[in-house]
Structure 1
Amino acid sequence: MRRIRTHRVTARRLPAVAVILSGTLIGQGTVIAVSPLLTRAYGPSDFGALAVITALCSILGAFATTGTDRALMVAPTDRAVRHLVLFGLMTSAVVAGAVGAAAWSFRNALAAGFDAPSLAELWWLFPLTTVAISAFRIVSATVARRQRYTDLATRNAVQGLAQTAWNLLAAPLGPVGLLAGLSVGRLAGVLGSLPGSRRRMLEASASASASAPASVSVSRSDRMAATLGAHRRFLLVTPWSALLNVLGQQGPSVLIALALGSTSAGYVALTMRVLGTPVGMLADAVAQWSGGVFGRSVRSGTPVDRLLRRIVLRLAVAGAAGTLLVLVFAPTAFSVVFGSQWTLSGTYAQVLVPAFAVQVVASPVTQLLSLLGRQLTQLWWDGGRLVLTSGSVLVTTAAGASPGVTVAALSASMVVAYAVVLVLVRRAVRAHRIVATSTVLAPPGTALPVR
């Protein structure tokens, strides 16, 4: 019996981030591992087109959820969760339909504007990738809310493996083998997350139905309307914040493609892919874990300042170590691993790595602004970052600066933006602590205001 008990204690002490990261390493590690094969199967123009699809569809997919992915974290009941999931999927389908119509109408203009002929034939990837990204965000939020770390790890592994398999097996088909990988991976991740999430939601639904008073008769539409009304700030403000957020992330890549052409954008895209993959793996793993913990703390009124401090310090150490490695080895590593024609991407990596180091620290904790009811603060910061990052690209390219100068300006603007959001998050957490400590003697079961 002692052996069994000891084994259980050890399993419980396994860090949640490590569980999530293990799945991410399998999935995204595979994506990185096959990158040398992809750079030989596809050209810079294909990677430039991929950057365009990734940027535009990430922006549209984030908007299409209408903030339900953030509202899910603080929704008070499982019934509210179901209502928000349904509403988010409905709005995602509507937005994807509109995107499809626009992509078909302007398919030739897209191909000419981005110097990527494949976009004229593959216009249908825009609505498909948009709905895949929005569904992925919604399903991921439901799993993170329930702190089902094994499910998150499985989803991360399935996503990366499916994307990699498609990129390799579909290479004979041409650019679609690379460009459709994003949607294939996201849809596979959604399907990998559904069985466990669906079972738990059905169990919660049955429990709620059994405990509901028989005399109360409220229509389903009225209950959904009440849920949406209670979370209206998320639905009204967060979509625009999410839109600006992804614009700030992906917009510069689109502007670089427009100003410098798909070839130069391809070099930058590979740099973003190589640096962004490990940064994304670590930041997403921490965000998926902390999102559930933060959401639970906000629902219960518990301070989160200690958790914030621990996350920031540990991620800062990881970011500093990664920066040193890139500064020393990037150009040589890119030339050896990807081929001599990609050495320029290694130089870009040295320039951009400080921005990614700050991003890995700030990205997982930025969600606290909306979770703590600071949606407007989040909106203003997202807008400010968009102005900084996109403005740096526009100003330098308009002045006729070299691509290297443009990349350096982009890196500097990202550092400033993420440093500012860390300050804003810290201020919001301090204000939350004051409120939490002032209500610590409130009677058990006191409802917290929905923000």
Structure 2
Amino acid sequence: MEQIKKLFRKLKSKSIIKNIVVLVSGTMAAQVITLLTTPLITRLFGPEIIGELGTFTSITEIIIPIAALAYPIAIVLPKHDIVAIKLIKLSVVIALILSVISLMLILILNSINLFDGMDTLNIALYFIPLVIIFSSLLQVSEQWLIRKKAFYITAKTNFLYSSLFNTSKIVLGLINPVSIGLIVVTTLGQLLKATMLSLNNKNNIINSYRIYTGNNEISIWLVGKKYKDFALFRSPQMLLHATSLSLPVLLLLNFFGPAAVGFYTISRTALNAPIQLIGKAVGDVFYPRISEAANNQENLYKLIYKATLLLGCVGIIPFSIIIIFGPTIFEFAFGHDWTKAGSYSQWMAIWMFFLFINQPSIRALPVLKAQKFHLVFTFFSLIVNTLGIVISYHYFKSDIISVAVFSLTGSLSNILLIIITLVISKNIKRGFLE
């Protein structure tokens, strides 16, 4: 306990905490809007419609990590802005190419009627090329602001975007509560947020792009080659990780139908609030900080350990409440039809807690040059999680048991990832990162 108190006292005076507070305040306001509107949205649409949206979202979550081959994540790292701008240009070019390829694949998939009997999802596939472009623009905008440490802009935008996005869902539900409408709003939402982030800054990305785009001394392809580990290792790792997160949705849809997907989607949305509120804020601020620490040859183990411990102290209470009172809370908040989602959430809260505290480790791995390890680790985790759900369904035919097994295997994977990251950071040689 004394160690924890000492940690909080030490961090109080540091700028990293001020940046986290700025991000958390904006994200908190955004999450309050989401939490206040979700009970109304669930009553307007119902489990099956939310389930169809959840299926589409799960498909796009698998695609988004490879939309620009993870090059946007590298924008924070270069010493000079001109290199970062070249990475932005490369990211957009790759996204445009992949969006065209995806459209061609969708035409082929829809010719075989991939989602038999689910016309909405077959139509929704045509939105994927737009998702690739819009999500890439969003990633580029977010990473540029992280690079510039313009956390106030991100915080303000998060609140404004959440207000517009959730209001749009409610208006749609009152006029015509159909899943395709939710899918359109979700797709356009990424473009809206990217635009808000890009323009809401006097030193915004567009002005910076105009300054540097005429400089052809550095080829975008040479920059791409320098940061190729993001394309070779980080992009497929993120693809596998997103597949692992979306896996329950696709398997629940196949085994138990859209309603089960609806329960899972609402549970994940609710439990994801603290991850977006605090975990992501800590990760966004921690990323440039640990990159700077590596360049200065500071003790990286200490940084990762303290950040992980801090998140553990913050997250233990809210996630424990869900583990104990999940069904009661969900029935009260979302209505009687969603009580089963509360049962899902009791198991998912265990997994989401470890997702919450692993943010420093995830952000540290590129700096530790351990992206190849991260790729291999994620691959084996995906196999274990898949086998867990399939085997539990085979033997028990229960959606709750399937969710429980997935959550427990996911928890163990995240614990192991944190431990290995700490070991790597402790044993890394000075000068390795130069």
TM-score (norm 2): 0.88
Instruction: Rate the CA distance shift 1:15–1:318 in 2: closer, same or farther, 3 A.
Output: same
Q: 1:35 aligns with which of 27, 33, 38?
A: 38
| Cross-structure match for 2:430 | 435
Cα distance in structure 1, aligned partners of 2:40 and 2:113: 28
Identity of paired residues, percent? 16
2:310 corresponds to 1:310: no
Establish whether residue 59 from structure 1 lines up as the match of residue 54 from structure 2.
no
Match of 2:238 in 1: 242
Q: CA deviation at 1:363?
A: 2.9
- Which SS does the other structure have where 1:388 is aligned? helix
- Give the Å deviation of 1:335: 1.1
Distance across 2 between alignment mates of 1:81 and 1:198: 18
Deviation at 1:293, TM superposition (A): 1.3
Aligned Cα root-mean-square deviation (Å): 2.8
- The answer to whether residue 40 in structure 2 is matched with residue 18 in structure 1 is no
Within a 5 Å distance, the mapping from 1:93-132 to structure 2 comes to 93-107=96-110, 112-113=115-116, 116-132=118-134
Structure 2 residues without counterparts, runs of 5 or longer: 1-11
User: Shift of residue 86 of structure 1?
Assistant: 0.8
1:74 alignment counterpart: 77
- 3-state secondary structure, aligned to 1:75: coil
How much has 1:296 moved relative to structure 2?
2.5
Letter in 2 for 1:352: M
- The aligned residue for residue 423 of structure 1 is 419
TM-aligned CA deviation for residue 167 of structure 1: 0.9
1:100–1:33: structure 2 CA closer, same or farther, 3 Å change rule?
Answer: farther
Query: Which residue in 1 is equivalent to 2:340?
Result: 344
Determine the C-alpha separation between the residues in 1 that align with 2:430 and 2:113.
Answer: 50
Q: Which residue number corresponds to residue 335 of structure 1? A: 331
Aligned pair in 2 of structure 1 residues 301, 186: CA closer, same or farther (>3 Å)?
A: farther
Q: What is the CA distance between 1:222 and its match in structure 2? A: 5.1
Partner of 1:195: 199
1:170 corresponds to which of 169, 172, 179: 172
> 1:135 corresponds to which residue?
137
Query: Are the aligned partners of 1:73 and 1:292 in contact in 2 as well (CA < 8 Å)?
Result: yes
Change (3 A) 1:87 1:198: farther
**CA separation in 2, counterparts of 1:338 and 1:206?**
48
**Alignment partner, residue 95 of structure 2:** 92
1:145 correspondence with 2:147: yes
Give distance in 1, aligned partners of 2:210 and 2:197: 21
Matched AA of 1:101: M
2:380 corresponds in structure 1 to 384
- The alignment's TM-score, normalised by the length of structure 1, stands at 0.85
Amino acid at match of 1:140: E
Q: Which moved more, 1:103-112 or 1:290-299?
A: 103-112
Q: Would the aligned equivalents of 1:46 and 1:116 in 2 still touch at CA under 8 Å? A: no
User: What is the CA deviation profile of residues 322-371 of structure 1, one whole-angstrom value per residue up to 9, with x for unaligned ones?
Assistant: 12211332211211221111111111111221111111001343121122
> Quick check: 1:74–1:296 contact (8 Å CA) kept in 2?
no
In structure 2, what is the Cα distance between the partners aligned to 1:168 and 1:205? 37
- Displacement of 1:302 in angstroms is 3.3
Counterparts of 1:413 and 1:14, CA distance in 2? 32
C-alpha distance in 2, partners of 1:265/1:189?
Answer: 26
SS in 1 for 2:338: helix
Give the whole-Å Cα distance in 1 for the aligned partners of 2:423 and 2:17.
31
Residue identity opposite 2:154 in structure 1: L
How far apart, in 2, do the equivalents of 1:264 and 1:245 lie? 22
Q: Which residue identity is paired with 1:297? A: A
Partner of 2:3: none
Shift of 1:235: 2.5
- Corresponding residue of 2:4: none
Q: What is the alpha-carbon distance in structure 2 between the residues aligned to residue 13 and residue 66 of structure 1?
A: 29
Q: Which runs of 5 or more residues in structure 1 are unaligned?
A: 1-8, 210-217, 440-447
